[in-house]
Amino acid sequence: MGLGRMTLVVTVVGPTATGKSDLALALAHELGGEVVNADALQLYRGMDIGTAKLTVPERQGVPHHQLDVLDPSQDASVADYQAGARADIAAVHARGARAVAVGGSGLYVRALLDQMEFPGTDPEVRARLEARVEAEGSRALHAELEARDPVAAAGIGPRNARRLVRALEVIELTGRRYSASLPQHVYEVPAVQLGLDCDRGVLDERIERRVARMWEQGLVEEVRALADWGIGRTASRAVGYAEVLATFRGELTEDEARAAVAAGTRRLARKQMGWFGRDPRVHWLDARAPDLVEQALALVARADAGTLGLATDDPAPRRSLGS
């Protein structure tokens, strides 16, 4: 289809259970595209039911990239993902196809598209900071980060020990604020971002149905197989997987686990909407619109023609659940 070197990556974002994968697949069909995953958990082999990963038949012959590239025992690296996914996009465009990125992991979407640095690490510095978490608690590190980088501290919760350790590690190694290395709303990879929004009540119903479907499809058996294989820290803490693992340890009943998964997924959806809702470049669409694909294609056409501005220029941009 003769795409130019500045071809825009069509990107579908938004909260879980809004139908992002289905829209991305439809757009790939219409645009002669290939899909690039931007969901951190769909990188993992064997994590299929709990992540609502499209099965091979459901992909309808459309090539999908950045799926099943990690073992569940591995910890995902945003830096590795950035390099791999950008290489995939370059290869897709070199083949004359259109890259359609899709996912709800905000940091991974930003790493894929935006100017984003990845400062190095130092095992000794990290080990010392992790020891402090054990000895002093994560709130002590949050207080230190608040004094050294208030912007970073405002975006990292006082119980998020992993991110607190990383922020203080970067400050120590670079002598700069951690927030200086965080992504800005500036594209490194030119893109048009389409966000799927949904009424809160409707989304909660969709989430309940998704959780029920996960159990019907065999989530418990999937998690058991992963546990036998060896499941790492990242995978074991994911919504859906953490709760089922808790049932294996006798900490939750299966009914309690199902309720906890639904509640955790609702919290995740709010968090995702907060992340993407702050990005003025996301053009929001109603996930329930009968002409959703047509609306999305019209936005892509305007973006390709250079006539689509920031989403904040739209007459009534959708920026939050239930709006």
Given a contact cutoff of 8 angstroms between Cβ atoms, the answer to whether 248 and 227 are in contact is yes
Angle between helices 106-113 and 78-94 in degrees, nearest 10: 50
Q: How many helices (H) and strands (E) in the chain?
A: 13, 6
Q: Is 2 annotated as a binding residue?
A: no
The enclosing H or E element of 173 equals helix 161-174
**DSSP β-ladder status, 33-37 and 64-65:** parallel
Closest C-alpha to 103, from 208, 18, 32: 18
Q: Is 183 annotated as a binding residue?
A: no
Closest C-alpha to 47, from 25, 15, 70: 70
How far are the Cα atoms of 125, 144, 156, 317 from residue 150, in angstroms, in the given order?
Answer: 21, 9, 10, 30
Closest C-alpha to 189, from 90, 108, 104: 90
How far are the Cα atoms of 77, 106, 130, 283 from residue 312, in angstroms, in the given order?
Answer: 32, 19, 41, 8
Q: Is 51 annotated as a binding residue?
A: no
φ, ψ (nearest 5 deg) of residue 106: -55, -45
How far are the Cα atoms of 14, 56, 225, 282 from residue 273, in angstroms, in the given order?
Answer: 6, 28, 32, 11
Q: Is 14 annotated as a binding residue?
A: yes
How far are the Cα atoms of 119, 257, 299, 306, 310 from residue 302, in angstroms, in the given order?
Answer: 36, 45, 5, 6, 12
The 10 Å Cβ neighbour count of residue 173 is 14
Q: Is 121 annotated as a binding residue?
A: no
Q: Is 55 annotated as a binding residue?
A: no
Residues comprising the binding site?
14-21
Residues comprising the binding site for ATP?
14-21
Residues comprising the binding site for substrate?
16-21
